[in-house]
Chains A and B, each alone.
Chain A
Amino acid sequence: MSFTLKIKDKVEERDFDGEVTIKDLLDEMDLSSETRVTKKNGEIVIDEETIEDGDEIEFIQIIYGG
């Protein structure tokens, strides 16, 4: 199974097995959910949302340091 991950202009296809949540993906990529909002197929979702085959996941950074 696979999903599309979009971060700014970068788009990549990622494979996965079993149940994976947004939180699992953020943890795996060492990204903080405190500074990001996630969209799944264009809709805002919470970190417990599970990723399904063919989904488009977008991480939008809304808090920047400085």
Chain B
Amino acid sequence: MGSCTKCGNPNVIIKRKASGQALCKDCFIESIEKKVKQTIKKEKFLEKGDKVLVALSGGKDSVVTLEILNSYVKRHIIELCAVTIDEGIAGYREEGVEIAKAHAERLGIPHKVVSFKESFGIDLDEIMKTEGHRGSCTYCGVFRRWIINRAAREFGATKIATGHNLDDETQAILMNYLEGNMENLASIGPKTESNSEMFTVKIKPLREIPEKEIGLYALAKGLDIHLAGCPYAQESFRMEVSNILKDLTKDHPTIMYSTLRGFDKIRPALRQELQHDYEYDRCERCGEPSSNRLCRACTFLEELGK
């Protein structure tokens, strides 16, 4: 079966088809941490003195993001804080919230749990019972972004770190390209910066790590993670694209890496050609930044009679 390519340990936990490497637990953990730190350095994600808010669901991606960024706290480079969003999905969200709380406490990181109910007066389970709703993921994405942006300002955070991984990034690139959403395509990137100071810069430290390796890292490190699928997950275009990429990866193991690398090369040209500098003002209802009279969250809330 072979032994670790780096140290010769016979207990291998991964064989990387893309590189031909076989790695034992310790060398695998080290390789992930090294890669993430390389991404952080290459993309200039962190500056000394940054206060980084981690959007912490308790799932593998956010827990690993928190864990690796915490090594910068230990070296007194940054401060961390975390927010967990309780969408109000009975029987699903509770465990993730508890896991997130435990990680924040273990690492001594300031943490708050914010619910849809307290923020908007309605939770996701209630929204899904309304007639003519737009689908769970539409509300979830918009409402979560609203809460995260606000939490970042409340914490005084200078950056927001999310757990987006290589699979997420390549799915987004392919989806937007296939659907012809070129403005959305141009907005994908390692850092999400707005010309408005009302938005905090978002960074994606795990964007070059495949999703499976993030799960493997969490298990190899013995990190408690929320392992469950959202009950509202449904067949979506993203899922179809994800399946295509997973199928392709079997015989072409470097396909996601090359998709991201190629995209990163054309991204500056795309941005120059396609990205608009929206004029932001404040949403009339909630005061959050918006390019329209109402922000998307408030548009949805008005539709829901809230």
Decide if B31 is an interface residue (CB 8 Å cutoff).
no
* B125 CB to nearest chain A CB (Å): 16
Cβ contact within 8 Å between B236 and A63: no
Q: Count residues of B near A (Cβ-Cβ below 8 Å).
A: 30
Cβ contact within 8 Å between B15 and A65: no
Please give, as numbers and ranges, the residues of chain A lying within 8 Å of B233 by CB-CB distance: 64-66
* B43 CB to nearest chain A CB (Å): 25
Q: B12 is contacted by which of A39, A46, A65, A66 (Cβ under 8 Å)?
A: A46
Interface hits, A24-66 → B, CB 8 Å: 32, 34-35, 37, 39, 43-46, 48-49, 60-66
Cβ contact within 8 Å between B13 and A46: yes
Decide if B266 is an interface residue (CB 8 Å cutoff).
no
Partner-contacting stretch, out of B49-57, B215-223, B284-292: B215-223
Beyond A65-B233, A65-B242: 15 further Cβ-contacts under 8 Å? A37-B216, A37-B219, A43-B11, A48-B1, A49-B1, A60-B215, A60-B227, A62-B60, A62-B215, A62-B216, A62-B218, A62-B219, A64-B228, A66-B230, A66-B232
Please give, as numbers and ranges, the residues of chain B lying within 8 Å of A65 by CB-CB distance: 229, 233, 239, 242
Interface hits, B166-183 → A, CB 8 Å: none
Chain A 1-42, CB-CB to B under 8 Å as 1, else 0, gives 000000000000000000000000000000010110101000
Cα–Cα, bound, A32→B15 (Å): 16
Cα–Cα, bound, A62→B211 (Å): 9
A residues contacting B by CB (< 8 A) are 32, 34-35, 37, 39, 43-46, 48-49, 60-66
* A23 CB to nearest chain B CB (Å): 11
* A24 CB to nearest chain B CB (Å): 14
Q: How many contacting A-B pairs (Cβ < 8 A)? A: 58
The 7 tightest CB contacts between A and B, nearest first, are A66-B233, A62-B215, A64-B229, A44-B13, A66-B230, A48-B1, A65-B239
Please give, as numbers and ranges, the residues of chain B lying within 8 Å of A62 by CB-CB distance: 60, 211-212, 215-216, 218-219, 227
Cβ contact within 8 Å between A44 and B220: yes
Please give, as numbers and ranges, the residues of chain A lying within 8 Å of B239 by CB-CB distance: 65-66
* B136 CB to nearest chain A CB (Å): 9
Cβ contact within 8 Å between A63 and B212: yes
Cβ contact within 8 Å between B229 and A46: no
* B300 CB to nearest chain A CB (Å): 20
Cα–Cα, bound, A65→B229 (Å): 7
Cα–Cα, bound, A60→B212 (Å): 11
Please give, as numbers and ranges, the residues of chain B lying within 8 Å of A35 by CB-CB distance: 212
Cβ contact within 8 Å between A37 and B234: no
* A57 CB to nearest chain B CB (Å): 15
Please give, as numbers and ranges, the residues of chain B lying within 8 Å of A44 by CB-CB distance: 13, 25, 216, 219-220
Cα–Cα, bound, A61→B216 (Å): 10
* B262 CB to nearest chain A CB (Å): 22
A34/B249 contact (C-beta < 8 A), A61-B227, A64-B233, A66-B236 known: yes
Cβ contact within 8 Å between B219 and A46: no
* A46 CB to nearest chain B CB (Å): 6
Please give, as numbers and ranges, the residues of chain A lying within 8 Å of B230 by CB-CB distance: 64, 66
Decide if B14 is an interface residue (CB 8 Å cutoff).
yes
* B164 CB to nearest chain A CB (Å): 14
Please give, as numbers and ranges, the residues of chain A lying within 8 Å of B22 by CB-CB distance: 46
